[in-house]
Amino acid sequence: MLEVVVIGAGIAGFAAAHALWERGAAVTLVEAGRPGGEATGASAGMLAAQYEAEPGAKFRLGVECRARYPEFVARLEELSAQALHLRWDGVLVANLSQQEHEQAAEAIRWQREAGRQAELLDPGQAVELQTGVSAESVSYIWFPEEGQVDSQALGAALGPALARTEIRLISGNSAAEVLSRKGSVVGVAMADGRKLDAERVVLAAGAWSAGLRGLPRVLPVRPVRGQMLRFPAATLALERMVASHAGRYLVPKADGSVLAGSTMEDVDFDPSITEEGLRVIHDEVSQLVPALAGLKPLERWAGLRPLSADSSPIIGPDPELEGLIYSTGFGRSGILLAPLAGAIVADLVVVGKSEYDWKPFQPDRFAEGELTPS
Ligand SMILES: Cc1cc2nc3c(=O)[nH]c(=O)nc-3n(C[C@H](O)[C@H](O)[C@H](O)COP(=O)(O)OP(=O)(O)OC[C@H]3O[C@@H](n4cnc5c(N)ncnc54)[C@H](O)[C@@H]3O)c2cc1C
């Protein structure tokens, strides 16, 4: 049996470990804290392939991931016996200025050309679709195919799901170094001094991925903090996601509560919530749904996204160190993108190739030692 160590049990590490195990590998998954306890459990759970998208490989990957999401959720629900509330209610994106309104036509044009659904709505039509959205917006883009999952439930489901597999989970213990000999991976050294032998190592340590010792290159992944709020149930009748072009959004959940996010902050590994960050989110989501202005949030938290230098994921084998494979750098879209990335990684490890075109995401697109794409 092929011995594989996967580092990190967020959605990226879980998906890779699970897909490897299904393909017959002997998998050890190491996790510094608890499965799903970092960015994965902190996220909003939007499965948004079209919102904030640009034409290109990442857009195509997102659309493919979205199409395959029901399969991933069904498997995770089956293994964990927990409901993940996958739903496809679409997202309304507010064009708050004349300029955003004018740019919307172009976004709608290329997305339709790519075979996706997208529509321009006037404020009256938007209010009809979703009560409570602002009638003051110039217009809205309506993406009916977008969806969401309960990512707090998803984060909490990873541990119980792993317990139902033969994946060996070592949690509460960090990997410190990727060990290699003569250009090939031989294992992982843990922070407590233990050594794990492995023929392959999958690096899926989220925002912490670049910090492992023994990596053959500077990995251009950094933490970007996102803060979140949750508003109470029953005060708003939101059914659909609502978002702005500035990256603020509202995501209604199954219990009626509404998540509001988020910030993009370069603050190194500081996971704090700040009054300023929460105020900006509250003010800007109140422009989308004015009834939120007077509401007091129920909960607040923050998470660290693993953002790569070009904002696209890093998927595939290291070009120099045989046996080291990356599944990281998912930035703002890891809940959407990581499950398919896990399947790609498992195919590359076990079969030696993937039917999906992962080449645009391979690690050697970055010049060696540089933080920008070559
Ligand atoms: C506020 C917020 C909102 C978001 N909203 C969305 C959204 O709506 N849709 C979407 O698609 N994405 C969203 N994201 C992004 C998404 O959450 C991330 O891209 C995704 O969770 C990354 O998954 P990951 O497994 O790479 O990282 P993580 O979930 O952070 O997992 C990495 C794991 O590795 C572990 N680890 C780190 N170092 C080590 C080590 N040395 N040894 C062992 N274990 C280690 C950590 O403890 C952690 O559990 C959001 C993120 C945030 C913060």
Q: pLDDT-derived band of residue 166, with 50, 70 and 90 as boundaries? A: very high
In 3D, which of 207, 200, 209, 199 has the Cα closest to residue 175?
Answer: 209
Which of 18, 28, 40 maximizes ligand 1 atoms within 8 Å of its Cβ, making it the mutation to test the pocket? Answer: 40
> How far away, in angstroms, is 333 Cα from ligand 1 center?
10
Q: Is the pLDDT of residue 370 over 60?
A: no
Which of 335, 336, 340 maximizes ligand 1 atoms within 8 Å of its Cβ, making it the mutation to test the pocket? Answer: 335
In degrees and rounded to multiples of 5, residue 21 shows phi and psi of -60, -45
Torsion of CA 301, 209, 365, 182, to 10 degrees: -170
Mean pLDDT, rounded, for 351-366? 94
In 3D, which of 340, 366, 361 has the Cα closest to residue 68?
Answer: 340
29, containing H or E segment: strand 26-31
Distance between CA atoms of residues 178 and 347, nearest Å: 21
For the record, the structure tokens of 157 come out as: 């489901």
Question: Is residue 155 within 8 Å of residue 301, measured between CB atoms?
Answer: no
Residue 369 is predicted with a pLDDT of 52
Q: Is the pLDDT of residue 101 over 60?
A: yes
Question: Is residue 374 within 8 Å of residue 367, measured between CB atoms?
Answer: yes
Residue 214 is predicted with a pLDDT of 97
More confident residue, 99 or 217: 99
| Residue 234 neighbours by CB distance under 10 Å | 8
pLDDT digits (tens, 9 = 90+) for 305-348: 999 999 999 999 999 999 999 999 999 999 999 999 999 999 99
Mean pLDDT, rounded, for 295-312? 97
Q: Is the pLDDT of residue 371 over 80?
A: no
Mean pLDDT, rounded, for 91-107? 97
Length of the chain: 374
> How far away, in angstroms, is 205 Cα from ligand 1 center?
8
Mean pLDDT, rounded, for 247-268? 97
- Listed in order, the ranges of the chain carrying CATH 3.50.50.60 are 3-53+152-221+309-365
Cis omega (within 30 of 0) for bond into 97? no
Question: Is residue 28 within 8 Å of residue 20, measured between CB atoms?
Answer: no
Q: Which atom of ligand 1 is nearest to the CA of 336?
A: 11
Which residue's CA is the closest to the ligand 1 atom numbered 37?
205
Residue 315, classed as helix, strand or coil, is strand
> How far away, in angstroms, is 115 Cα from ligand 1 center?
30
pLDDT digits (tens, 9 = 90+) for 193-210: 999 999 999 999 999 999
Q: Which atom of ligand 1 is nearest to the CA of 35?
A: 49
Mean pLDDT, rounded, for 271-288? 98
Mean pLDDT, rounded, for 282-306? 96
Q: pLDDT-derived band of residue 236, with 50, 70 and 90 as boundaries? A: confident
In degrees and rounded to multiples of 5, residue 318 shows phi and psi of -70, 135
Distance between CA atoms of residues 193 and 200, nearest Å: 19
Residue 233 is predicted with a pLDDT of 78
* Domain 88-146+223-307: assigned CATH number: 3.30.9.10
Which residue's CA is the closest to the ligand 1 atom numbered 50?
43
Which residue's CA is the closest to the ligand 1 atom numbered 35?
8
Distance between CA atoms of residues 348 and 93, nearest Å: 37
Which residue's CA is the closest to the ligand 1 atom numbered 1?
226
In 3D, which of 108, 2, 130 has the Cα closest to residue 50?
Answer: 108
Does ligand 1 come within 6 angstroms of the Cβ of 329?
A: no
Question: Is residue 350 within 8 Å of residue 370, measured between CB atoms?
Answer: no
Residue 286 is predicted with a pLDDT of 97
CATH 3.50.50.60 fits 3-53+152-221+309-365, yes or no: yes
Q: Which atom of ligand 1 is nearest to the CA of 262?
A: 1
Q: Is the pLDDT of residue 374 over 70?
A: no
Residue 132 is predicted with a pLDDT of 95
- Listed in order, the ranges of the chain carrying CATH 3.30.9.10 are 88-146+223-307
pLDDT digits (tens, 9 = 90+) for 169-197: 999 999 999 999 999 999 999 999 999 99
Does ligand 1 come within 6 angstroms of the Cβ of 313?
A: no
Average pLDDT, the chain: 96
Mean pLDDT, rounded, for 72-87? 98
Residue 237 is predicted with a pLDDT of 87
Which of 7, 34, 43 maximizes ligand 1 atoms within 8 Å of its Cβ, making it the mutation to test the pocket? Answer: 43
Does ligand 1 come within 6 angstroms of the Cβ of 214?
A: no
> How far away, in angstroms, is 306 Cα from ligand 1 center?
7
